[in-house]
Amino acid sequence: MPQISHVLFDMDGLILDTEPLYTEATVQVAAKYGSNVQFSWDLKVKQMRLPRLDLANLIIREMELPITPQQYIEEYLLWQLQAQKILTFLKQQTIRGKPYPDIFQVCASRFATSPKQPNNCLVLEDSPAGVKAALGAGMCCVMVPDERMFTTPQYIPTGVH
C-alpha cells in the first residue's frame, strides 16, 4: 500500500448531500413536459456515470420528454440553479468531467506541497465515474456510495481494492 500524503474529497454528493437536489431537478423538468415515467433508482444510477450530453439523451429517451438534449440541460440547470447556485458555478469552471481523471490531476497539482506520486493521493468518491476518474489518475480511491447502490451492484466498479 502506498504512503498516503494527500486526500481529495468529492464534494458533490459525498461532502454535500446534493443528490436529492439533482433528483428533484430531473423530476421537475420531466413534470413540466408531462412525463408520466417515474425517475427510478435504476435510471438515476445509469445517469450518474454519464457526461452531461449523454445524460440528457438518456433522460429524454427514458422519461419520454419531447425536448432536445440542449433544452433539457438548460431547464435542468435553471431549476438546479435555484437550489444550489455555488455548485453550478463551480461545475462551469471545471475541465472535462468524470470519468476522465483531469479533475483529480488538477486538484493534486494545487496542493501547496505536491504529492510525490499520484498514488500518494487518496480520493474519497461516491460514484462509479468518480472511482474510474481517480484510478485513471493513478490515485488510490475509496468509494463511499449511496446505500441504495448496493441494490444495483452492477454499477459498482469491480476489481477495485
Query: Does the CA dihedral 87-135-154-149 come out positive or negative?
Result: negative
- 160 pLDDT more than 60: no
Q: What number does CATH give the domain 6-15+96-155?
A: 3.40.50.1000
The kind and range of the H/E element at 135 are helix 128-136
Supply the DSSP symbol for 50: S
pLDDT given at position 161: 43
Report pLDDT digits (tens) over 127-143. Answer: 888 899 999 999 999 99
What does the radius of gyration of the chain's CA atoms come to, in whole angstroms? 17
- The whole-angstrom separation of Cα 13 and Cα 39 is 18
Report pLDDT digits (tens) over 42-73. Answer: 999 888 878 899 999 999 999 999 999 999 99
Q: How confident is the model at residue 159 (pLDDT cuts 50, 70, 90)?
A: low
- Domain 19-83, CATH number (from 2.40.50.140, 1.10.150.240, 1.20.1440.120, 3.40.50.920): 1.10.150.240
Same fold, 6-15+96-155 and 19-83: no
Worst-scoring range by mean pLDDT, 1-10, 42-51, 90-99? 90-99
Assigned C-alpha cell, 52: 452531461
**Best CA proximity match to 76, nearest among 99, 47, 103:** 47
- Residues with a known catalytic role: 10, 12
Sequence spans of domains, the chain:
6-15+96-155, 19-83
